[in-house]
């Protein structure tokens, strides 16, 4: 996996048409950490102690296969309103206008109930017919039985029409292979389409 550039506007998005997997979720939920774990890189995407630090759309190329797209998190109350509206516009225009977008990875913290902002995102993705896999992050902070219980709860909650709910840990690597299988399953049809056109 290599860094392929940051975009502050759609004109700066990649042009080569490889399928894209977008990372979505609240600020601090672990998007950049999970992206690094899936890409087998320790610290390519910036991981921050401070929430709300990813402010651009960042593209990471995984071989000649696909792009991971690290989007700014939502729900970070301390960000100035004007700035927040700017990212929201950028993220919305990405999600609604991006042809190569093959899958949304929707991250929620395995430990917590889905927040209202998560439900807003779930409804948005459903409304626009954007396929998603839910990744329940930081599963290393829970015991095995608790992880399974949370997985069932999340299936009923933000799961909805999701293809799957997969508990993951960027710290221990738990769930990373399973998540890759879910990603490949969802991206393969997009791959076929992009080769035909």
> Exactly one of 53, 98, 111, 155 binds ligand GTP (CB under 6 A); which one?
53
**By CB under 5 A, residue 54 contacts Mg ion:** yes
**By CB under 5 A, residue 32 contacts Mg ion:** yes
**By CB under 6 A, residue 54 contacts ligand GTP:** yes
Restricting to residues 154-173, which ones interact with ligand GTP according to CB under 6 A?
A: 169-171
CB 119 within 8 A of CB 127: no
- The token pair that represents 137 in the structure block: 């992050």
**Inter-residue long-range contacts of 145-153, CB under 8 Å, 24+ positions, other chains counted:** 147/110, 150/110, 150/111, 153/113
d(CA 171, CA 159): 23
**By CB under 5 A, residue 169 contacts Mg ion:** no
Which CB atom, from 7 or from 194, has the smaller least distance to ligand GTP? 7
Size of the site for Mg ion (CB under 5 A): 3
Q: Shortest distance, CB of residue 2 to ligand GTP, whole angstroms?
A: 18
> Exactly one of 48, 92, 148, 152 binds ligand GTP (CB under 6 A); which one?
48
CB 47 within 8 A of CB 35: no
Q: Which residue number is nearest to Mg ion in terms of Cβ?
A: 32
Which residues contribute to the site for ligand GTP (CB under 6 A)? 27-33, 47-49, 51-54, 73, 137-138, 140-141, 169-171
């Amino acid at each position: 996996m290599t860094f392929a550039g940051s975009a502050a506007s759609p004109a700066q998005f990649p042009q080569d048409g490889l399928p894209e997997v977008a990372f979505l979720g609240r600020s601090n939920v672990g998007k950049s950490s999970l992206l690094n774990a899936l890409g087998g890189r320790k610290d390519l995407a910036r991981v921050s102690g401070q929430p709300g630090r990813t402010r651009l759309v960042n593209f990471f190329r995984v071989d000649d296969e696909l792009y991971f797209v690290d989007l700014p998190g939502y729900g970070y109350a301390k960000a100035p309103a004007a700035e927040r509206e700017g990212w929201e516009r950028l993220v919305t225009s990405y999600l609604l206008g991006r042809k190569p977008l093959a899958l949304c990875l929707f991250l929620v913290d395995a430990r917590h109930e889905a927040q209202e902002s998560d439900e807003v995102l779930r409804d948005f993705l459903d409304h626009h017919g954007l396929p998603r896999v839910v990744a329940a992050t930081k599963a290393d902070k829970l015991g095995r039985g608790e992880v399974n219980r949370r997985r069932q709860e999340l299936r009923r909650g933000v799961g909805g029409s999701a293809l799957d709910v997969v508990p993951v840990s960027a710290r221990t690597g738990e769930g990373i292979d399973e998540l890759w299988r879910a990603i490949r399953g969802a991206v393969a049809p997009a791959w076929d389409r992009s080769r035909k056109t």
